[in-house]
Amino acid sequence: MTPDEHRAMRESLGDHAMGRLEGHELATLEAHLQGCPACREELAEVASVLPALGRVDPDRLDHTPAPPPDLGDRIVAAARAERPASAGARTRNRWAPVAAAAAAALLVGGVAGYLVGDHDGIPREPVAVQAMDPTVQATAVAIPHTWGVEIVLDGDGFRSGATYRVVVEAEDGREVSAGEFIGTGASPMVCNLNSSVLRADAEEFRVVDVAGSTVLRGSLAT
């Protein structure tokens, strides 16, 4: 599997979760999924939202909680979440079909479409990220915990063997460590980074290399 192939496959995961792939495209993706745990995990994450979107029952609308006021923003954030830093490059986003379905569901019945679903009842929120290093391709989600915000960073292109540290900047300017990781080069990496800054107080997170340069930043501004 080449990184390019992996990238192309990841872009079709949203369509796959919606059942929109067929024939050769479907066969190719399924073959890739067999050998790629990162894509299987990503597919499970994308697919986890879909049941929430399908739960539009007209008879129960009175009991359906109102959509969160920031849902529109979150759809936009999801659509931006994995835009590559290289200017002008157009990449299909695997969340795009899901975001479109969420928007459609809202038009139909005002369902509470929690865009990225949740794991164990804890919402996962896509974070808009910007890579300063063009070889870095990454997406991120933020998970609010009672003890602070967790960032799940999913990407590749971080220099193999190099140490990176991750800091969360709070609204008051404090910079708090969210841990470190070692780059895996072209191999996909999913990394959980935990900080003691509460989600509501977090402004952004940054991935910093050993030289102190920021290679990636993600907006946590609300």
Shortest Cβ distance from residue 91 to Zn ion (Å)?
15
Judged by beta carbon, residue 9 or residue 127, the one nearer Zn ion is 9
Nearer to Zn ion, 82 or 209 (CB): 82
Interface with Zn ion includes 94 (CB under 5 A)? no
> b/e per residue, 96-117, with b = 16+ CB within 10 A?
bbbbebbbebbeeeebebbbbb
For residues 87 and 68, give the distance between their C-alpha atoms in angstroms, rounded to a whole number.
32
Give whichever of 92 and 165 is closer to Zn ion, judged by the CB atom: 92
CA distance 7 to 221: 28
CB–CB of 177/165 below 8 Å?
Answer: yes
Q: Which of 13, 17, 29, 36 binds Zn ion (CB under 5 A)?
A: 36
136 binding Zn ion? (CB under 5 A): no
Identify which range of 6-14, 144-152, 155-163, 194-202 contacts Zn ion by CB under 5 A.
6-14
Please identify, among the stretches 29-37, 44-52, 109-117, 172-180, the one whose residues bind Zn ion according to the rule CB under 5 A: 29-37
Say if residues 95 and 81 touch (Cβ distance below 8 Å).
yes
d(CA 129, CA 35): 27
Query: Closest approach of Cβ 8 to Zn ion, in Å?
Result: 9
C-beta of 154 vs 204, nearer to Zn ion: 154
Does 6 bind Zn ion (CB under 5 A)? Our answer is yes
CA distances to 4, 5, 6, 180 from 186, in Å: 9, 12, 10, 18
What is the closest distance, in whole angstroms, from the C-beta atom of residue 39 to Zn ion in the complex?
3
Nearer to Zn ion, 46 or 75 (CB): 46
Edge-to-edge strand ranges of the sheet holding 202-208: 129-131, 214-219, 202-208, 163-170, 175-182
Q: Which residues bind Zn ion (CB under 5 A)?
A: 6, 9, 36, 39
